[in-house]
Every structure is written in C-alpha cells, then in structure tokens.
C-alpha cells in the first residue's frame, strides 16, 4: 500500500506520520508538498497535524481551499482511505468532508499529554484491529480540539455509527466526548489524538499501530477482491 503524507506550510507532524508508515509499518510513503502534486497513484492519503498556514482565520481553513483538496475529495469519492489527524481533522471539517467544527479547548489552553480513548466503533476500515469498547492510549496535542456539531448532527453521527473514538475523560469539552469520526461511507476518518505518535511501546504506547495495520489489511482485502 502506498501512502501520501500531504504537507502544507507549517505542517509539523508530517515526519511523525512518515516515520509511522515507512519505518514502523514498513509500507510505501512519500511526503507530498501541497502544490503541483498528483495523488492519483496513491492508495491512502494522510493529512498530518500542525498549524497549516499558521491557523490563519481558523485552523485548517486556508488549507481546505488549496488545489490539492480537490484531488483528496476525488480520492475519497473513489472509496480510498483518507486519514486526517489533529490539524488534518480540522482541514477535513473545513473542507466539508466531515461534519462539525473544532473549537478552542474548554480551558482555552493548549494540551499535550497521553489520553485514554474508547474504541466506539471497531467495525471500520480503520479500527478492525481493535475490540469494541477497548481502551487505548494516544497522545493529544492541540489548542482547538473541542469538537462541535449541532444536536441533529450529533444524533445522526450516533445513528450512523460514525463516532469511532471517544474520550474517556473528555479533556477539551467535545460534544458527545467525540475524539474521532468517519464519513457515512466509512473511508474518511478525522481524529484529534495522534495515532502516529503511538506506534512504539518505547515511547509510551503502540496502540496506534493497529489503526494503520487495519487500514492496510482492509485495503489489501479490497484490492484482492477487485483484482
């Protein structure tokens, strides 16, 4: 499986994402600059964390209007996997690939620590390697991670089982304790915690490894079925 790690101006977790896929997962990966890049030959798209365009206007707002986003939307429409982490999640909501918005944390402070999460839906292309209701630990590192949506959207997310991860302790005030959601089609995941920083037990947790393995294994099953 070949991944594109999309790099915007002021992305700062792109190297972490690249290391997770290339060195730990041992799959193909390229760092892809947002300008004049062709995503056609990539099987998965990864939008890393950081402060794209310095969070000008709103986090992810400017990046969501860049030319490469049309390619990412086309990629998603074909059913290929797209993962947006932290700022990548913000970009996905700003581009309307996922519903809702990310607001300032309830304490108005930047938070950076490991956080226990609940696997709320283990039946997705991203979470099939987990058990339903399992507690995992991923780092968080954000100032605007407070997921917001209106009540109608929240009920729709619940009804469609689009809530993939929830916070056990909800550090940022997110509606429904939401830490990560998928689109209705199930191939676009946005989440604030960082699975790419939870790939090796040596640095505190390897719970993120199964997320990337799930992506690869599900892609290979789909690829084999269509071959």
Mean pLDDT of the chain: 96
Confidence of residue 15 (pLDDT cuts 50, 70, 90): very high
Provide φ and ψ at 188, rounded to 5°.
-120, 115
Provide φ and ψ at 101, rounded to 5°.
-155, 160
> 156: which DSSP letter?
H
Residues with catalytic roles = 86, 194, 196
Between 36 and 79, the higher pLDDT residue:
79
Q: How far apart are CA 91 and CA 18, in angstroms?
A: 19
Q: Which domains does the chain have, with CATH numbers?
A: 2-226 (3.40.50.880)
Per residue in 184-193, pLDDT (tens digit) is 999 999 999 9
Confidence of residue 227 (pLDDT cuts 50, 70, 90): low
**Which pLDDT value is given to residue 104?**
97
Residue 225, pLDDT above cutoff 90: no
The whole-model pTM stands at: 0.96
Provide φ and ψ at 196, rounded to 5°.
-70, -15
Q: What SS3 state is found at 33?
A: strand
> 147: which DSSP letter?
E
**Which pLDDT value is given to residue 36?**
74
**Which pLDDT value is given to residue 222?**
83
Q: How far apart are CA 126 and CA 214, in angstroms?
A: 5
12: alpha, beta or left, given left = phi > 0 and alpha = psi -120 to 50? alpha
Unique residue bearing structure tokens 């986003």: 69
Unique residue bearing structure tokens 């429409």: 77
Per residue in 120-162, pLDDT (tens digit) is 999 999 999 999 999 999 999 999 999 999 999 999 999 999 9
Residue 11 β-bridge partners: 50
Least Cα distance to 206 among 118, 114, 142, 120 occurs for 114
Q: What is the mean pLDDT of residues 111-123?
A: 98
> 23: which DSSP letter?
I
């Amino acid at each position: 499986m070949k991944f594109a790690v999309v790099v915007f101006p002021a992305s700062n977790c792109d190297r972490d994402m690249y290391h997770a896929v290339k060195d730990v997962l041992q799959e193909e990966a390229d760092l892809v600059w947002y300008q004049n890049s062709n995503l056609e030959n990539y099987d998965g798209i990864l939008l890393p964390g950081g402060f794209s365009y310095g969070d000008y206007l709103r986090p992810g707002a400017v990046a969501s209007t860049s030319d490469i986003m049309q390619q990412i939307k086309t990629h998603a429409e074909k059913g290929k996997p797209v993962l947006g982490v932290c700022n990548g999640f913000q970009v996905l909501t700003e581009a309307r690939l996922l519903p809702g918005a990310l607001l300032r944390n309830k304490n108005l402070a930047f938070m950076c620590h490991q956080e226990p999460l609940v696997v709320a839906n283990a039946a997705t292309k991203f979470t099939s390697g987990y058990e339903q209701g399992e507690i995992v630990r991923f780092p968080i590192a954000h100032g605007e991670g407070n997921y917001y949506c209106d009540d109608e959207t929240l009920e729709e997310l619940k009804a469609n089982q689009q809530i993939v991860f929830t916070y056990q302790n909800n550090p940022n005030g997110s509606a429904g304790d939401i830490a990560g959601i998928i689109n209705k089609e199930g191939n676009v995941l946005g989440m604030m915690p960082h699975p790419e920083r939870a790939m090796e037990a040596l640095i505190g947790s390897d719970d993120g490894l199964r997320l990337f393995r799930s992506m690869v294994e599900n892609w290979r099953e789909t690829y084999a079925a269509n071959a």
